[in-house]
């Protein structure tokens, strides 16, 4: 509980700092609309996955469609650079399908998916290049930290032409036991996750269109024999649309 409160307070404090100081600094750091900064409401489609190989790569067949939504504060440092902090509801997860016969996907299968949702706080340094009077392209990068909120897993099974059975369960954000023997189930995750993210896009007037990629650095669960590789880490690609509120 103490860690959750610290994370939430840090995220809210960072976002509030950017949004509250925006009005005071814009007049001194920018003389035009080259880099207006502001507070954006932002959301979009996320394509979530987890790394399945020791080198951190993923399988495209495991990609799961989800979403993200929240606020982004942009504090101009000068005409080309900004400090950005966000507070987002971020969907993550993955899916995996197994078939007894690869040529027959209508029978004898197990289809599993897990959809966790996190409170995510990114802090980025952004570089902007003007395209005109009130438009610019940007690239940004920095760290993020996430706290698991809720989620669910769904397993669909069909055997020997029978009816499909569906099992659903809620995700538990906790460590199950000390040796990790049960922590590799996709309904048991660590509460906190961190990593690096990169973003790029275009700002035009009050609108923002961009892409974002989250590269998780921490394992999503505790499997006792895999601490020396990059398996079981989140990889999330997002396409976002934002609107500047001020």
Answer yes or no: are the C-beta atoms of 178 and 212 closer than 8 Å: no
Residue 10 lies in a domain: no
Task: Give the range of the structural domain holding residue 90, as residue numbers without chain letter.
Answer: 42-176+186-221+229-244
For residue 101, give both structure tokens. 């016969």
Collapsing DSSP states into helix, strand and coil, what is residue 205?
A: coil
Does 171 map to a domain?
yes
Torsion of CA 73, 16, 81, 90, to 10 degrees: -40
Domains contained in the chain, number: 1
Domain CATH code at residue 73: 2.40.160.20
pLDDT of 74 reads 97
Residue 63 lies in a domain: yes
Q: How far apart are CA 67 and CA 44, in angstroms?
A: 6
Name which of 17-26, 101-110, 181-190 the model is least confident about.
17-26
Q: What is the pLDDT of residues 112-168, one digit of tens each?
A: 899 999 999 999 999 999 998 899 999 999 999 999 999 999 998 988 778 888 999
Residue 47 lies in a domain: yes
* Residue 8 predicted with pLDDT over 60: no
Q: Is residue 37 part of a domain?
A: no
pTM here is 0.81
What is the distance between the alpha carbons of residues 244 and 82, in angstroms, rounded to a whole number? Answer: 15
> Does 217 map to a domain?
yes
**Within-domain flag for 159:** yes
Mean pLDDT across 157-186:
73
């Amino acid at each position: 509980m103490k860690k959750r409160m610290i994370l939430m307070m840090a995220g809210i404090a960072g976002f509030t700092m950017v949004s509250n100081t925006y009005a005071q600094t814009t007049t001194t750091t920018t003389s035009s609309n080259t880099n207006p900064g502001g507070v954006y409401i932002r959301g979009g489609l996320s394509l979530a996955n987890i790394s399945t190989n020791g080198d951190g790569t993923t399988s495209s067949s495991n990609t799961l469609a989800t979403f993200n939504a929240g606020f982004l504060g942009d504090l101009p440092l000068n005409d080309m650079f900004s400090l950005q902090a966000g507070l987002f509801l971020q969907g993550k997860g993955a899916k995996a399908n197994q078939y007894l016969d690869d040529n027959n996907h209508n029978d004898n299968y197990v289809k599993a998916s897990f959809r966790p949702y996190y409170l995510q706080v990114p802090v980025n340094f952004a570089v902007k290049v003007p395209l005109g009077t009130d438009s610019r392209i940007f690239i940004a990068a920095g760290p993020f930290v996430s706290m698991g909120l809720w989620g669910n897993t769904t397993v669909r099974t069909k055997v020997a032409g029978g009816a499909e059975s569906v099992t659903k369960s809620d995700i538990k954000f906790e460590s199950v036991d000390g040796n990790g023997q049960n922590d590799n189930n996709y309904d048991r995750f660590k509460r906190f996750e961190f990593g690096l993210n990169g973003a790029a896009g275009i700002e035009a007037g009050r609108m923002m269109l961009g892409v974002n990629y989250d590269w998780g650095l921490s394992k999503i669960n505790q499997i006792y024999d895999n601490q020396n590789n990059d398996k079981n880490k989140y990889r999330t690609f997002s396409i976002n649309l934002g609107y500047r509120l001020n």
